[in-house]
Amino acid sequence: MNIVLFEPEIPANTGNIGRTCVATGTRLHLIEPLGFRLNEKEIKRAGMDYWKDLDVTVYDNYQDFLNKNPGAKIYMATTKALNTYTEVNYEPDCYIMFGKESAGIPEEILLENKENCIRIPMIGEIRSLNLANSVSIVLYEALRQNNFSGMNRVGHLHHHSWSESL
């Protein structure tokens, strides 16, 4: 899987998303301009000691991202979409793009990709969910659809097995 952040602005969100990407074996793509420097302590604090293990690529702009990922299947998360994030079938190598915290993905990009726009349902006039939460929600649905390929699906207690206590 691939998560794409279009011009992210808040370092703590990007740090948290980076940690989620490491935990799920997902690549992170950052499209500049960024609202922070990648060496900021807020990113490292949110990403904790996982940031060094992150597979991350930074692009000069959206066109640079497209040029370096030709033919990529890109789903675009936006509150303006007609389809919910559960109504699509995510390919194992797809890209899921999220816009910057203050404005989302620009409408001209959304209009070029209407059929691949997805939304997380919300009630009322809530503008949007937190970016890191939104990424987690959609990414885990995509991973679920792909049977959590390569991920640990069973946990273990240190002193007892689950079957002993049942």
Token readout for 61 is 């702009």
128 annotated to a ligand binding site: yes
**b/e per residue 45-79 (b: at least 16 CB within 10 A):** ebbeebbeebebeebeebeebeeebeeeebbbbbb
> Which residues, 6+ apart, have CB-to-CB distance to 110 below 8 Å?
76, 78, 80, 81, 117
Alpha helices of the chain — where are they, by DSSP H?
A: 11-24, 41-47, 62-68, 107-112, 131-145, 162-165
Task: Round to whole Å and give the CA distance between 36 and 159.
Answer: 44
Question: Using CA atoms, how far apart are residues 67 and 53, in angstroms rounded to an integer?
Answer: 25
- What single-letter amino acid sits at 145? Q
Q: Is 149 annotated as a binding residue?
A: no
Residue 120 marked in a binding site? yes
Three-class DSSP category at 151: coil
List, as residue ranges, the binding site: 99, 120, 128
Give the annotated binding-site residues for S-adenosyl-L-methionine: 99, 120, 128
